[in-house]
Amino acid sequence: MQFALLPLAMVTSLRLTAAEIARAIAGRVEGDAAVIITGLAPIDQARPGDLTFVAQPRYFSYIDKTPAAAVLVEQNYSTTPANGVVLIRVANPYFAFLQIAKNFFQPPASWTGVHPTAIVGENVRLGENVVIGPHVIIEPECAIGDNASIGALCYIGRGAQLGHRVVLFPQVHVAYGVHLGNDVIVQAGSVIGSDGFGYVKHEGAYHKIPHIGAVVLEDGVEIGANCTIDRGTFGETRIRRGTKLDNLVHLAHNVEVGEHTVIAAQTGVSGSTKIGNRVTIAGQVGFVGHIEIGDDATFGAQAGVTKSIPAGITVSGYPAREHSLARKEEAARRRLPELLKRVRALEKALAQIAPEALEKIDDSEV
Amino acid sequence: MQFALLPLAMVTSLRLTAAEIARAIAGRVEGDAAVIITGLAPIDQARPGDLTFVAQPRYFSYIDKTPAAAVLVEQNYSTTPANGVVLIRVANPYFAFLQIAKNFFQPPASWTGVHPTAIVGENVRLGENVVIGPHVIIEPECAIGDNASIGALCYIGRGAQLGHRVVLFPQVHVAYGVHLGNDVIVQAGSVIGSDGFGYVKHEGAYHKIPHIGAVVLEDGVEIGANCTIDRGTFGETRIRRGTKLDNLVHLAHNVEVGEHTVIAAQTGVSGSTKIGNRVTIAGQVGFVGHIEIGDDATFGAQAGVTKSIPAGITVSGYPAREHSLARKEEAARRRLPELLKRVRALEKALAQIAPEALEKIDDSEV
Amino acid sequence: MQFALLPLAMVTSLRLTAAEIARAIAGRVEGDAAVIITGLAPIDQARPGDLTFVAQPRYFSYIDKTPAAAVLVEQNYSTTPANGVVLIRVANPYFAFLQIAKNFFQPPASWTGVHPTAIVGENVRLGENVVIGPHVIIEPECAIGDNASIGALCYIGRGAQLGHRVVLFPQVHVAYGVHLGNDVIVQAGSVIGSDGFGYVKHEGAYHKIPHIGAVVLEDGVEIGANCTIDRGTFGETRIRRGTKLDNLVHLAHNVEVGEHTVIAAQTGVSGSTKIGNRVTIAGQVGFVGHIEIGDDATFGAQAGVTKSIPAGITVSGYPAREHSLARKEEAARRRLPELLKRVRALEKALAQIAPEALEKIDDSEV
């Protein structure tokens, strides 16, 4: 048995002509419109059969050398390729490329409708064209919008509400009562609506606080793989529209994240912290609880955020402080071993000139 | 199709009168005992139909203004609310509130007994009233105590032993031979009993050390979502009674955690490290392997713990050191750029008064 | 119902004589060859019925005191045990011990072939002796090599290709088109082939870049529990042969990791970063994107790696710098509060001797 790597096109079984591609993105073919496209790649990695693109002049020189089958270029690209590669002219080559990727290069669904092994509870309302994969469990009282897709082995708790075009990858967990807006995407293994880490200490032992609050992911929110988003204790945990989370991100109970914010992998946000709109958060950042982060703030990787941060500020380090300040301290820190030597030299020099002056102060001050 | 947010009560289908609530917690109603309760909320977030509580005098002023249906107050709360809100007097309003949340506001189970799609192996012993969800796999030779609940899509390996009232949320993984004590709770996606990260290096390649040790979670241990707890290489990984872990926590092989310790999200503990009783660990803390942490120690968020820590100490930072010291260093670090300037000023001053003294030392020392 | 801890042997149902053990590892028994072995343990934890080993002279003294049933020792071990414990002489006691653990102490599989509840799509090619657990989903066009084992509740996307002897623990996610080489092991809950965190910002909103690239895990790669490995955006994410990842590790899109590298738990690698061969990475390390890490580099726990690192270097801290330098800075940092006092003393002394010198400079410089 052979396990040689197959080219991607064999995975997606794609075969399109340049003409068919051009039609889909309102492009104009120059060259053999019948050339077959079987894959996609950036221009520096393209192989025979690939469609590629050039969006910036500094990549123009690649066009003459690429073995690709066709290249997306801007309307006014002027050179005729020496190698005869097919050109497809479009308004925005990069966007056109993404469009093709999205529309033609996703693997086809293997089932339609509700898979016979899925278990759908009582009073579940399904919209039009909902796809529910094998071994899915949907508890009673849920509602799922039109064109939503629930991957294999997902669990959806009682009364959860999923908007139109929601996509759950396989093995996602959506707890009871969670609300996912339209166009929400949740990748494999993520848990939306876990109980928060809330305990009452009583006579030396911790007693679980029942978590009965909500989770709301508004329209267009996207969640990576193996994330955990706790439900509110009594109120709600909310991510506003358009915000994106990378993998292994943790949001604790009652956290609020604003609109169009991005949070990179392995970041954690403690309970009740409020993050603003258009905030940019790099990987492995940690936020303590009960603080507020202003709009448009930026956080360097591994920042440890111990207090509220005003809007527009860029911070880094532990404890997180303004990035320009952190860099200055960092530069100074690098000079610390040298500084110690210089102070020792000063002390010795002073001891020579005026020993009594320094000694007297040493005794009383240090 | 409409996906407006439903109030929580519609998720849990709750409708109780103030009288019914009072009866469950040995309380006494003042006002309309027939008022209907449909939700729970803290006093500053309560809406019509909610039950809320006031446990501290500084919140007394909220009572007159709340739109809630009823408020839990202490026996000796003296004022009559101006807004006519129903009062329910109890010994401890907060505990009564948690009791109501726990008993009435959890969503009802959708099945009882062993779901027909669950696969239960040979010689599995089930206690009384065990609930096993759909698509669960329980391998042979397991034992599961009375009133335990195994969520949908869980996997339980051969010979695992689960105590009474154990609750596994959906999609949990319990590996072969793992022991869970009574009242253990494991949230969705956690893996209990993964193989540890142990390899023998031989001629430049790593060879997996078979992990055949145990994992023991004692009575009352609770584990958050998407955690990973490795089995012992040969001995065991053990968490003692009452200890609670947040989400995405990692415990390596042969780690021991004492009683009534709390570990916040994304913390990692390396192999064979021993953590004491009543230790408090914030989020994203890391412990190297083979160290010992004394009882009642406290760890600030993101601390990097590189050596053993005695009992009762509070540490923070990287490498972790006593918190008061870390703060002092932090304060000094903030003055570093200024300090550099002051030393330069001293050098220049000394160069004016006695250039030969400093230069001589510079040459020989720096 | 009783939930006393069972000894490990009851989990694995093992009963072997010393003679049977010796035969499996080409050893020679000294003492009662019929003694029954029911467990394995290191010499300092061994109990009656256990097989143990001694590989280093400093543990020789344990042999006389162990209650174990038998001890693996080197060929030329000379003493006769006072307690009459059975000796089994072998060339390499530790390797022999691991061999026994691997061959006899793993729990037996509960099923063979394809479990009737597994769903296997069209055109899936299965090698010899493939085991597929219950509730597994394998999408069409996949290929799975000889003696591979797919745990319960796994999801394998369309066109994925798994080599010979691949082991997927239960609840693993292998996305469409992913390639796993021979002898790859993936532990429970890991996601191989999630979409990367790639967005195009357009008029203030983020638009998902379709991820259609590959993931390739070469021969002998092993992945811990609850990891996330993103697929390439258009190219590939690749881990070369023999490399091992611990739990909760995150690799972003288009990351490359070399051969025989080890990455400890909760480490994260950002997009397009290239890590060399034989690199050693401790826990909770973070790498920014688009950097290169040379062969044989070593990273201390929690290091924050912000730039490329040459081959062979050991780094630590944030931002990561050469470890010896980081230690020197660390030592200097500890003396910072004292240094501040010493500089103040110098300033006062100088103010006494030559106040005009320092003051003049203060005004103009600081």
Specify the CATH number for the domain of residue B78: 3.40.1390.10
Judge: B194–C224 Cβ closer than 8 Å, yes or no. yes
Please give the residue range of the domain that contains residue A23. Answer: 8-104
* Domain boundary residue, one of C79, C104, C129: C104
Which band of pLDDT confidence, cut at 50, 70 and 90, is reported for residue B243? very high
Residues of chain B with C-beta less than 8 angstroms from the C-beta of A181: 3
Burial class (CB in 10 A: 0-12, 13-18, 19+), B109: exposed
Kindly state the helix (H) or strand (E) to which residue A100 belongs, with its residue range. helix A93-104
Residue A350 distance to chain C (closest CA, Å): 8
Q: Is B75 helix (H, G, I), strand (E, B) or coil?
A: coil
* Domain boundary residue, one of C47, C79, C104: C104
Which band of pLDDT confidence, cut at 50, 70 and 90, is reported for residue B4? very low
Q: What percent of chain C has pLDDT over 70?
A: 94
Residue A245 lies in a domain: yes
Residues A306 and A347 in one domain: no
Residues A95 and A148 in one domain: no
Q: Are B118 and B142 in contact (CB under 8 A)?
A: no
CA dist list (Å): A31 to A17, A28, A196, B118:
12, 10, 60, 59
Q: Which residues of A92-125 are buried (b: 16+ CB within 10 A; e: fewer)?
A: ebebbbbbbbeebbebeebbeebbebbbbbeebe
Q: Is C291 helix (H, G, I), strand (E, B) or coil?
A: coil
Q: How far apart are CA A240 and CA A277, in angstroms?
A: 8
Which pLDDT belongs to residue B351? Answer: 86
Judge: A197–B284 Cβ closer than 8 Å, yes or no. no
Q: How many CB atoms lie within 10 A of CB B275?
A: 27
Binding partners of C (≥3 Cβ pairs within 8 A): A, B
User: Residue B34: which residues within 8 A CB-CB, separation 6 or more?
Assistant: B17, B18, B19
Q: How far apart are CA B69 and CA B321, in angstroms?
A: 51
Residues A149 and A262 in one domain: yes
Q: Are A162 and A143 in contact (CB under 8 A)?
A: yes
Q: How many residue pairs from chains A and C have C-beta atoms closer than 8 A?
A: 236
Judge: B283–A284 Cβ closer than 8 Å, yes or no. no
Judge: B194–C187 Cβ closer than 8 Å, yes or no. yes
Residues of chain B with C-beta less than 8 angstroms from the C-beta of A218: none
Name the nearest CA neighbour of B202 among C94, C89, C77.
Answer: C94
Which pLDDT belongs to residue B159? Answer: 93
C66-75, Cβ contacts within 8 angstroms, sequence gap of 24 or more: C68/C41, C68/C43, C69/C18, C69/C35, C69/C36, C69/C37, C69/C38, C70/C18, C70/C21, C70/C29, C70/C31, C70/C35, C70/C37, C71/C43, C72/C25, C72/C27, C72/C96, C72/C97
Judge: A176–B284 Cβ closer than 8 Å, yes or no. no
Judge: C159–A105 Cβ closer than 8 Å, yes or no. no
Amino acid at position A329, single letter: E
Average pLDDT of span B204-223:
93
Q: How far apart are CA B118 and CA B104, in angstroms?
A: 28
Using the predicted structure, report yes or no on whether residue B366 has a pLDDT greater than 80.
no
For chain B, the average pLDDT equals 91
Residue B54 distance to chain A (closest CA, Å): 14
Average pLDDT of span B122-143:
96
- CB-nearest partner of C189 from A189, A266, A302: A189
Residues C35 and C183 in one domain: no
Determine the residue among A136, A318, A340 to mutate to test chain B binding: the one whose Cβ has the most chain B Cβ atoms within 10 Å: A318
Residues of chain A with C-beta less than 8 angstroms from the C-beta of B1: 125, 127, 143, 145-146, 164
Judge: B188–A346 Cβ closer than 8 Å, yes or no. no
Residue C331 lies in a domain: no
Residues B138 and B287 in one domain: yes
Fill in the DSSP letter of residue C310.
-
- Pairing state of beta strands A50-53 and B250-251? unpaired
Residues A216 and A301 in one domain: yes
Q: Are C194 and C176 in contact (CB under 8 A)?
A: no
Residues of chain B with C-beta less than 8 angstroms from the C-beta of A179: 3, 5
Q: Are B328 and B313 in contact (CB under 8 A)?
A: no
Give catalytic residues of C, as residue numbers.
Answer: 253
Which pLDDT belongs to residue B13? Answer: 62
DSSP string, C208-237: EPP---EEEE-TT-EE-TT-EEEPPSSSEE
Binding partners of B (≥3 Cβ pairs within 8 A): A, C
Q: Which residues pair with A322 in a beta bridge?
A: A315
| CATH code (residue C276) | 2.160.10.10
Residues C212 and C346 in one domain: no
Q: How far apart are CA A298 and CA A262, in angstroms?
A: 10
Say what angle helices A355-365 and A336-353 make with each other, to 10 degrees.
120
Q: How far apart are CA B55 and CA B94, in angstroms?
A: 6
Using the predicted structure, report yes or no on whether residue A364 has a pLDDT greater than 50.
no
Name the nearest CA neighbour of B97 among B124, B126, B68.
Answer: B68
Residue B146 lies in a domain: yes
Residue B296 lies in a domain: yes
Residues C311 and C351 in one domain: no
Residue C136 distance to chain B (closest CA, Å): 10
Q: Which residues of C33-55 are buried (b: 16+ CB within 10 A; e: fewer)?
A: bebebbbbbbbeebeebbbbbbe
Residue B191 distance to chain A (closest CA, Å): 12
Q: How far apart are CA A189 and CA A194, in angstroms?
A: 13
- CB-nearest partner of A5 from C137, C179, C206: C179
Which pLDDT belongs to residue B7? Answer: 46
- CB-nearest partner of B119 from C12, C117, C222: C117
Q: What percent of chain A has pLDDT over 70?
A: 94
CA dist list (Å): B330 to A309, A313, A318, B333, C340:
19, 21, 10, 5, 13
Residues B151 and B266 in one domain: yes
Residue C113 lies in a domain: no
Judge: C158–A346 Cβ closer than 8 Å, yes or no. no
Q: Confirm whether B202 is a catalytic residue.
A: no
Residues C155 and C80 in one domain: no
Residues B171 and B256 in one domain: yes
User: Residue B97: which residues within 8 A CB-CB, separation 6 or more?
Assistant: B40, B51, B52, B53, B72
Residue B167 lies in a domain: yes
Q: How far apart are CA A323 and CA A312, in angstroms?
A: 12
- CB-nearest partner of C206 from A247, A262, A334: A262
Residue C300 lies in a domain: yes
Using the predicted structure, report yes or no on whether residue B247 has a pLDDT greater than 80.
yes
Using the predicted structure, report yes or no on whether residue B362 has a pLDDT greater than 50.
no
Give catalytic residues of A, as residue numbers.
Answer: 253
Residues of chain B with C-beta less than 8 angstroms from the C-beta of A214: 5, 8
Q: Is C345 helix (H, G, I), strand (E, B) or coil?
A: helix
The pLDDT tens digits for B24-68 are: 999 999 999 999 998 888 888 888 999 999 988 899 999 999 999
Burial class (CB in 10 A: 0-12, 13-18, 19+), B279: buried
Q: Is A30 helix (H, G, I), strand (E, B) or coil?
A: strand
CA of C330: which chain B residue's CA is closest?
Answer: B319
From the DSSP assignment, how many helices (H) and strands (E) are in chain B?
7, 39
CA of B335: which chain A residue's CA is closest?
Answer: A329
Which pLDDT belongs to residue B108? Answer: 79
Q: Are B112 and B130 in contact (CB under 8 A)?
A: no
Residue C189 lies in a domain: yes
Which pLDDT belongs to residue B353? Answer: 84
Say what angle helices B336-353 and A336-353 make with each other, to 10 degrees.
30
Residues of chain C with C-beta less than 8 angstroms from the C-beta of A111: none
- CB-nearest partner of C336 from B204, B329, B350: B329
ipTM value for the complex: 0.90
Which pLDDT belongs to residue B63? Answer: 94
pTM above 0.90, yes or no: yes
Residue B108 distance to chain C (closest CA, Å): 25
Determine the residue among C137, C202, C237 to mutate to test chain A binding: the one whose Cβ has the most chain A Cβ atoms within 10 Å: C137
Residues C72 and C194 in one domain: no
Residues of chain B with C-beta less than 8 angstroms from the C-beta of C266: 250, 266, 268, 286
Q: Which residues pair with C343 in a beta bridge?
A: none
Which pLDDT belongs to residue B91? Answer: 92
Residues of chain A with C-beta less than 8 angstroms from the C-beta of B105: 210, 212
For residue C28, what are its two tokens?
A: 């020679």
Residue whose pair of structure tokens reads 């690709």 in the numeric block: A68
Determine the residue among A123, A206, A212, A290 to mutate to test chain B binding: the one whose Cβ has the most chain B Cβ atoms within 10 Å: A212
As for how many domains chain A has, the answer is 3
Residues lower than pLDDT 50 in chain C? 1-10, 361-366
Q: How far apart are CA C230 and CA C221, in angstroms?
A: 16
Q: Out of A71-85, A296-310, C7-21, give the one with best mean pLDDT.
A: A296-310
Say what angle helices C355-365 and B336-353 make with each other, to 10 degrees.
140
